[in-house]
Structure 1
Amino acid sequence: MSGNARAVRVGEQMRDELAQLLREEVKDPRIGFVSVVKVEVSRDIRHAKIYVSVLGDEQQKKETMAGLTSATGFLRSELAKRLQLRYMPELHFVLDESIEHGQRIAQLLDQVQEERKRTERGEGE
């Protein structure tokens, strides 16, 4: 269990540091507005899945993901300097579309509610 707690703690530290690095240090023009949503680190601290949310259309998302993949070496070396781990995990970027999915669900629920109000008004007259 302690190995898992350590992996969670390292993931949280990596999320914070990656967010700062992406905001302040990475200069790749392909990387648009990106948020680090979550970082999952394997128990042995050898691999890290970095879930990112990208604002923009499909083309901007593809370009941002390509930019992140290109910047992986730089990000990994900067993280190594900041986190002082024995092993720096391999970084694997994953596009997280859960925020957009949630927004779409909320939009659909609003539409259903609006139609229900219209129906109730029509029946009440």
Structure 2
Amino acid sequence: MSDNIKLLRTQSILKEIIPEALSQLNDPLLRGLCVVDVECKRGKYDAFIYLDKMGLSELEQAEILNKLKKVNGYLQSYCREAEGWFRAPKFHFKFDDTLERQNQMDALFDKISKELKKDD
């Protein structure tokens, strides 16, 4: 139980610190990124950071992920120093598409609802 609490605490801390670290960078693409969620795995050795797409194209998303790989070491150092950790998790960045999927499902349910009303 306490391990779960520690994991949730780490996720919450990372969700606050990573945007701070990104805001310190000189790259305007990275500075404006919004962290949607953080999920730690493997005993806090890996952290999956989910970012908001904000209407970015596939090409822009690929460019941003490439830049994030380059600054990964800086982000880990920032987190270690900010929290006094001996070690920071390895970051894996992904763009969150749950909002898009939810909107698609809502549209499907609306379509089904209209079809059912039309048949009655």
For structure 1, which segment, 57-66 or 30-39, has the greater mean C-alpha deviation from structure 2 after superposition?
A: 30-39
What secondary structure is seen at the aligned counterpart in 2 of 1:51? Answer: strand
When normalised by structure 1's length, the TM-score is 0.76
Q: Which structure 2 residues correspond to residues 29-108 of structure 1 after superposition, within 5 A?
A: 29-31=28-30, 33-42=32-41, 44-55=43-54, 56-108=56-108
After superposing on structure 2, the runs of 4+ consecutive aligned residues of structure 1 that deviate more than 4 Å are 114-117
CA distance in 2, matches of 1:15, 1:84: 16
- Give yes or no for contact 1:4–1:43 (8 Å, CA) kept in 2: no
* TM-score, L = length of structure 2: 0.79
Which deviations, in whole Å up to 9, do the C-alpha atoms of 1:40-75 show, x marking residues without a partner? 223533221212222212112212211222221111
Structure 2 unaligned runs (5+)? none
What SS does the aligned partner of 1:34 have? coil
SS at match of 1:26: coil
- For the 8 Å contact 1:12–1:39, the answer to whether it is kept is yes
Highest Rg: 1 or 2?
Answer: 1
Offset, 1:85: 1.4
- Matched-pair contact (CA < 8 Å) for 2:30–2:64: yes
Structure 1 alignment gaps of length 5 or more: none
RMSD (CA atoms)? 2.4
Change (3 A) 1:25 1:32: closer
User: How many residue pairs get matched?
Assistant: 119
5 Å matches for 1:12-23?
12-22=12-22
SS at match of 2:18: helix
Counterpart residue number, 1:28: 27
Identity %: 25
Report which stretch shifted further, 87-96 or 104-113: 104-113
